[in-house]
Chains A and B, each alone.
Chain A
Amino acid sequence: MDTPVVHHGAMFDTNELVINMGPQHPSTHGVLRVVLRLDGEKVVDADVVIGYLHRGIEKLSENRNWTQIILLTDRMDYVAAATNNVGYCETVEKLMSLEVPRRARYVRTILCELQRIASHCLWIGTHAMDIGAMTVFLYAFRERELILDLFEEFCGARLTYNSMRIGGLPLDLPPGWDRKVLEFCSVMDSKVDEYEELLTHNRIWLERTKGIGVISGKDAVALGLSGPPLRGSGVPKDVRKDEPYAAYDEMQFDVPIGTAGDTYDRYLVRLEEFRQSLRIIRQATEGIPEGPIVGKVPRLIKPAAGETYHAIESPKGELGYFIVSDGKSTNPYRFRVRPPSFCNLQGLRPLIRGHLIADVVALIGSLDVVLGEVDR
């Protein structure tokens, strides 16, 4: 057979292919759209398109009074709603120079750490499922359910908790709740080991995550990554340690950091955070002081004119609130959220460049974004 050379060349002509991934794609964890430019299976460039879940929470908050906003913050990072509540309430307390009772600060710490575990459960389940390990998803959601039960008992809701008030807590702990939290901790200890057995030395997992999406600590800081994606690159930045809020200054815990800055190290960091969170929950639950749950809060919340920025460490990274009060109206003049997912997602484009298309889902999962928070 004589195959003409011209025909041969045309057959193997390599044009760049543009593929649209999302916004309705199971691996994009919501409504993220990524426009990929491919050379064969390799990603040459990507454009990350967001905004499909934009509800104007910032604008809405500027037209609601200070207490009503707590409810809106639930709708940002909806897998860690209590953390958002705490961040917002602490910012307003800072703006009003309010003293929060020690008991309330302890409960906040417990809730924040329970949320971290719940959020990481959801992350490990979906991330592993994206890469092809179905079992972990079922295991992790089983444990997440236990945390949702604890929250349901505390505040009556399972997803959007509205579980904080400016100056303290809406309700005291139900009787026996602390015992249940400790029981959960002892259950969870062995479950984290289970996840680890399933994944850490799993050859397929190693192949799919080691050396994928490597970012140096310097680049990660410049790109504004925070939380586990930053700590996976070896930068020990954790707001809980650096600028302690709630009762973190009284807790003993370590900040795990990675070395390689790849998907595997980000996984290891989060896995260790499970254990550190359990350690914090145990200390806080055992040492929880008696006393009032709300500080001296004026009936009408109306902070004096001024502006402030306050950050906390959400499961995704640095969650900051920049709030301006004009001192005259009962709503904030400017309400701005620094969503960690938004800033972490910005790192997706440099991370996926040069990788295979199959790694894109691994990297989206590894950044652990929640689109409700990205778009607000």
Chain B
Amino acid sequence: MAEAPKPPSDATPPEAAPGSAASAAAAGKPAAAKAPGAEAAAAKPPPAKAAAHPPPAAAAPTGPTEPAPPAGLALPAFITTLQRVVPGSVSHVSYHLGDWTIVVPVAHLVETARHLRDAADAVFDFCSDVTATDWPPRAEGRFDVVYCLYSTRHRHRVRIKVKVGELQPVPSVTGIWPSANWLEREVYDMFGVNFTGHPDRRRILMPDDWQGFPQRKDYPLEGPGELLMENPLDWLKLRQAREQADIE
């Protein structure tokens, strides 16, 4: 079954690319220069794996499906107002299963968030969730940071989404919704998204001295195991060595 924990080298095709990018990205976590190396490492293994498992075509999904709204459906008023008042804030609008999603460039995030909270036709005063999704092979940045908003006055929902790279700064929205404080801390803890201007950016669920970001797709499910007790860096080195041997 797909659920059996397995070493990353034996991963099924959808996981193969992130699995091999794992150690590279995890080991080279602090260094920006490592990122291209990781890409190369990620690009290499799939052909070898594909030979072992014939059917797979695509390796890992490179992004979410973001279907545009159907032709007959009008945009809600708050989106059209947003487009008018904050130019450049909406790069894509998606509609799926009754949920509206606005894709916003990082540069306009705070401005958009403030508008959505304050504008009379939006009043998204309740930030119910901040989370992220990891799409390692994606060119435009691996993370989607997703903000789920709700309006206690109009009782409607919307999601805003920004696409960011590994070390790219994302302005914190705690100034707009104080509830985002812990939620952003969790996203930082689990994904390593680089929030800036956050009043209290510490890990929240994992121990303070934890190495790596567990919710990333290239972080193994079994974790570092007993080696973490000795020295977490040993584990990362060991994994990297194993991966290197695998590639050559």
Contact = CB atoms under 8 A, between A and B. Distances in A.
- B1, B2, B97, B186 pick with most chain A CB within 10 angstroms: B97
B128 A306 contact: no
B211 interface: no
Contact of A331 (B2, B64, B148, B219): B2
B61 A333 contact: yes
A307 B131 CA distance: 13
A138 interface: no
Contacts of B180: 224
Contacts of A324: 64, 133
Contacts of A226: 128
B99 A309 contact: yes
Contact of B179 (A54, A56, A336, A343): A343
B81 interface: no
B96 A308 contact: yes
A137 B206 CA distance: 34
B14 interface: yes
Given A54-B206, A224-B126, A326-B61, A343 B183 contact: yes
B53 interface: no
Contacts of B214: 56, 59
Contacts of A95: 97
B215 A59 contact: yes
Given A59-B221, A222-B178, A318 B128 contact: yes
Contacts of B65: 305-307, 327
Interface in B113-157: 125-129, 131, 133-134, 146, 148, 152, 155, 157
Contacts of B125: 221-222
A320 B128 contact: yes
Given A221-B126, A338-B129, A63 B206 contact: no
Interface in A327-366: 327-331, 333-334, 336, 338, 342-343, 345-346
- Interface majority SS on B: helix, strand, loop or mixed? loop
B47 interface: no
Contact of A328 (B14, B67, B155, B159): B14
Contact of A329 (B14, B97, B182, B215): B14
Contacts of A222: 125, 177-179
A50 interface: yes
Nearest to A330: B2
Contacts of A235: 152
Contacts of A39: none
A272 to B, nearest CB: 20
Contact of B205 (A50, A221, A308): A50
B198 to A, nearest CB: 14
A322 B14 contact: no
A191 interface: no
B246 interface: no
A235 to B, nearest CB: 6
A24 B14 CA distance: 42
Contacts of B12: 329
B133 A334 contact: yes
Please tell me the size bucket of the interface on B: 35 or more
A94 interface: yes
Given A242-B155, A324-B133, A223 B61 contact: no
Contacts of A309: 99, 129, 148, 157, 159
B213 to A, nearest CB: 11
Contacts of B207: 51
B5 interface: yes
A135 interface: no
Nearest to B14: A329
A311 interface: yes
B201 to A, nearest CB: 14
A275 interface: no
B117 to A, nearest CB: 9
Contacts of A328: 14, 58, 61
Given A97-B97, A224-B128, A306-B96, A237 B152 contact: yes
B61 A51 contact: no
A69 B235 CA distance: 29
A283 interface: no
A308 B155 CA distance: 17
B163 to A, nearest CB: 14
B181 interface: yes
Given A306-B97, A324-B64, A51 B155 contact: no
- A59, A64, A235 pick with most chain B CB within 10 angstroms: A59
A68 interface: yes
Contacts of B10: none
B237 to A, nearest CB: 23
Contacts of B5: 63
B3 interface: yes
B221 A60 contact: yes
Interface of B: 1-3, 5, 12, 14, 58, 61, 64-65, 67, 96-97, 99, 101, 125-129, 131, 133-134, 146, 148, 152, 155, 157, 159, 177-183, 186, 190, 203-207, 214-215, 219, 221
24 contacts: A51-B203, A51-B204, A56-B214, A59-B215, A59-B221, A64-B3, A65-B1, A221-B126, A223-B179, A226-B128, A305-B61, A305-B64, A306-B64, A307-B64, A307-B65, A307-B133, A309-B129, A309-B148, A318-B128, A326-B14, A333-B61, A334-B134, A338-B131, A375-B205
Given A243-B155, A308-B97, 5 more contacts: A221-B152, A222-B178, A222-B179, A306-B67, A328-B61
